Amino acid sequence: MRRPTVGHVVADDCSNLRQGDVVELRELRLPVADGEFEIVATPAGVAILSQTCDVVQPSKQRCLVAPVFAHPTDAALSSARKGQKPLHLYLESGESGADRCIADIERAASILKSELSGTRIMARYVADSSGGQARAVAWRIGRAFSRFPFPDEVYPAFSRLRHQAQEKAGSAGNFGRVLDLVEDLRVSADQWASPGRRLTLYIVVAEERLVPSDEMDPNWQWDPSRITGLRSGELPSSLSLDRVCELLLANLDGDRTSLGHLWKTFGETVEAKLLTSSLDVEVVSFGVEVLSDSEMTYRQYQQTEGLDLEVLSDSTDTSS
Amino acid sequence: MNTSVRQDSLPSPVPHYESLGGQTSSGLVKVNEAVRSAASYVSPSQRISEIRALAGLTIEQVGRLFGVSRRSVHNWINGNAMAPQHEEQARKILDVVRSLPGSSPDERRSALLDSSHGSSLFHELIALRGEPERLQTAGVSARERIGL
């Protein structure tokens, strides 16, 4: 981290700026009705949304910035960190020691780079322009614009899934802890346009935690001697979601084959306990496939969209 | 399983030495070392074929041991060169496979995949391979995305 950058002024050509930087620009002109502009005070500065290469590129005249909320509440910061409002860009300190903040992408504006030159850099959230923090900031900015527009008709099914998950598992239970081990949740449909959709939920797990079937121990059996914590007589089909998750967590560092079978049972239980009840005329089937990140093909990735129940809303919802 | 090995991918083996005519004793040693080195050279194709023959692994499984596609494995078998990091991994895999107990590919494969004591040898080999840096990451966890 080149901390001395914070507090310095923006160079004439903006060559020392990065995406995610917060710059001390005190006001922003936002277009309003009838070609008029509103002058918005930005006492907490503005965040740079443009990609770093575009910011520093001399041929680019303009830069996209978003006002930073002054004095965000802890609840607002928590909500933004969880991505509940994608237009609220959460920026966290990382190594810089800068305070966490939220930039309001809804009020983003394109300004001339010359307006930024000479202003003070108030905070830097990306230590290395090609590092992990840069990717995280870029991902959050991209997420505000690039989410697949799920049709309104599937929203009730997703909503019931979310309700079931919260009711049956809660936020502090084993289900949540297992979800912390999941790399990605993605969903596909045979078609999205008409009723009768057949959906598949892909639960993507790191290869280190889910070995492919052909790498499993061929002599393995569902038995307490191979599954830590399994009681005699417990069968996969008789386990509750919480119990499957409890066993999965108890076997994380043990037999990879046992863990693989428990992930399979997890998928089957999620389908039976959480997804079946979400079906209706719009979504007539909702299956689950648990697979490792090395098994998911690029084609599957293209056919799926990240499932993000926190930001789903139908187009008639004006609450957010 | 086809275990034939292409011989035409051997590198030009013997480096040129000033003393190639055997003028000095030290020169002769160098020449002998070079010849021995060439004779003991095992091509990527030979290594992959031996790994598959001994342990009965599929092309896909071999690919996972290296973190590469099936196409890359086929290319190696057909004589394409390996990157240095893959050559190193191939040597390690072959050492392990050669030391497996059992008298048939099935028995050796079972020993390689035996996970009764935790991680199998197969997965310990996977853990040795190098990985490119991950560029695609999800900034919001699965727990948060499901609303918990």
pLDDT more than 90, % of chain A: 65
Work out the pLDDT band at B23, boundaries 50, 70, 90.
very low
Distance CA B137, CA B139 (A): 6
Check residues A97 and A89 and name the one with the higher pLDDT: A89
Residue A123 sits in the same domain as residue A164: no
Check residues A160 and A151 and name the one with the higher pLDDT: A151
Domain count along chain A = 2
B 17-76 → A contacts, CB under 8 A: 58, 60-61, 64, 67
Work out the pLDDT band at B77, boundaries 50, 70, 90.
very high
Chosen domain end from A119, A146, A173: A146
pLDDT more than 70, % of chain A: 93
Identify which of A83, A179, A215 has the shortest CB distance to residue B139: A83
Is-contact A54 A70, C-beta < 8 A? no
Binary contact (B115, A258; C-beta < 8 A): yes
pLDDT at residue A162 is higher than 90: no
Contacting residues of A for B116, CB less than 8 Å apart: 217, 219, 226, 255
- How confident is the prediction for chain B on average, in pLDDT? 78
Residue A156 sits in the same domain as residue A38: no
- Examine the predicted complex and report whether its ipTM is higher than 0.90: no
- Provide the 8-state DSSP code for A238: G
Chosen domain end from A146, A163, A190: A146
Closest residue of chain A to B116, computed from CA coordinates = A255
pLDDT at residue B31 is higher than 80: no
Residue A158 sits in the same domain as residue A129: no
Q: Hey, is A169 helix, strand or coil? A: helix
Residue A192 sits in the same domain as residue A139: no
For A247-263, what is each residue's pLDDT tens digit? 999 999 988 999 999 99
pLDDT given at position A94: 57
Residue A37 sits in the same domain as residue A128: yes
pLDDT given at position A243: 95
Distance CA A199, CA A187 (A): 7
**Angle at the Cα of A190 (from A184 to A195), degrees rounded to 5?**
110
Q: What average pLDDT does this structure show over B48-74?
A: 95
Residue A9 sits in the same domain as residue A119: yes
pLDDT at residue A16 is higher than 80: yes
Distance CA A28, CA A46 (A): 8
Interface with B, mutate which of A215, A242, A262, A298 (most B CBs under 10 A): A215
Q: What average pLDDT does this structure show over A220-245?
A: 94
pLDDT given at position A4: 47
Work out the pLDDT band at A96, boundaries 50, 70, 90.
low
Work out the pLDDT band at A130, boundaries 50, 70, 90.
confident
pLDDT at residue B20 is higher than 60: no
Residue A28 sits in the same domain as residue A137: yes
Residue A12 sits in the same domain as residue A136: yes
Angle between the N-to-C axes of helices B121-128 and B59-66, in degrees from 0 to 180, rounded to the nearest 10? 50
Binary contact (B148, A212; C-beta < 8 A): no
Residue A13 sits in a domain of what CATH number?
Answer: 2.30.30.110
Integer Rg of chain B from CA: 21
Residue A271 sits in the same domain as residue A166: yes
pLDDT given at position A163: 85
The rounded Cα A47 to chain-centroid distance in angstroms is 20
Identify which of A140, A180, A258 has the shortest CB distance to residue B143: A180
pLDDT given at position B28: 54
User: Domain range holding A120?
Assistant: 3-146
Model pTM? 0.80
Chosen domain end from A109, A130, A146: A146
Q: What is the phi/psi pair of residue A108, to 5°?
A: -65, 150
Whether residue A317 is contained in a domain is answered as no
pLDDT at residue A316 is higher than 80: no
Contacting residues of A for B115, CB less than 8 Å apart: 216-217, 220, 255-258
Residue A84 sits in the same domain as residue A169: no
Residue A294 sits in the same domain as residue A223: yes
**What residue has token string 């083996």?**
B13
pLDDT at residue A317 is higher than 50: no
Kindly state the tokens that stand for A285: 């089937």
Q: Using alpha carbons, select from B64, B59, B61, B93 the residue that is nearest to residue B76.
A: B59
Residue A297 sits in the same domain as residue A213: yes
Q: What is the phi/psi pair of residue B47, to 5°?
A: -60, -50
